[in-house]
Amino acid sequence: MVDILARMAIARLPLIAVDCPDPGALARFYGAMLDWQVDVSADRASACPEDGQCIAFHRVADYTPPTWPGQERPKQMHLDMLVDDLDVAERAVLALGATRHPDQPGTSYRVFLDPAGHPFCLCLE
């Protein structure tokens, strides 16, 4: 089954989601730098070109910025993948080696860990 999955897209439109204390401020910063349109809500914001991928910004309580190049506090971002059916996509990513994270705070998305432990989300459009 994994061979079949490797030839079919399970998800589409990966979205880079950046953790931060103020999503609107960070979206406006990147929007201005890239000349992209900005959309802001209470806990999330995005900066998007007219015809391409967006960068999303998510509010995180008690945010602490990452350190670089050291790893005392690693980089803080993840990928969101759009899917048509969460159950079908979940079975497929689990077959590829992902694990479902025990904390599932939403109903329109699911949180998983890739084989190296990086979080990513499968999200309904």
Query: Which distant-in-sequence residues (6+ apart) come within 8 Å of 27 by Cβ?
Result: 38, 39, 40, 45, 46, 47, 55, 57
Q: Which fold has domain 1-15+78-125?
A: 2,3-Dihydroxybiphenyl 1,2-Dioxygenase; domain 1 (3.10.180)
Distances in Å between the alpha carbon of 80 and those of 3, 4, 23, 54, 66? 23, 23, 16, 11, 20
Tokens read off for 31:
């929007």
Residue with tokens 């025990």: 102
Structure confidence at residue 8 as a pLDDT band (50, 70, 90): confident
User: Which pLDDT score is estimated for 33?
Assistant: 85
20 CB contacts (<8 Å, ≥6 apart)? 26, 57, 58, 59, 60, 63
For 1-15, the three-class secondary structure string (H helix, E strand, C coil) is CHHHHHHCCCCEEEE
User: Can you give the pLDDT at residue 2?
Assistant: 52
Q: What is the pLDDT of residue 45?
A: 96
pTM for the predicted model, two decimal places: 0.72
The domain locations on the chain are 1-15+78-125
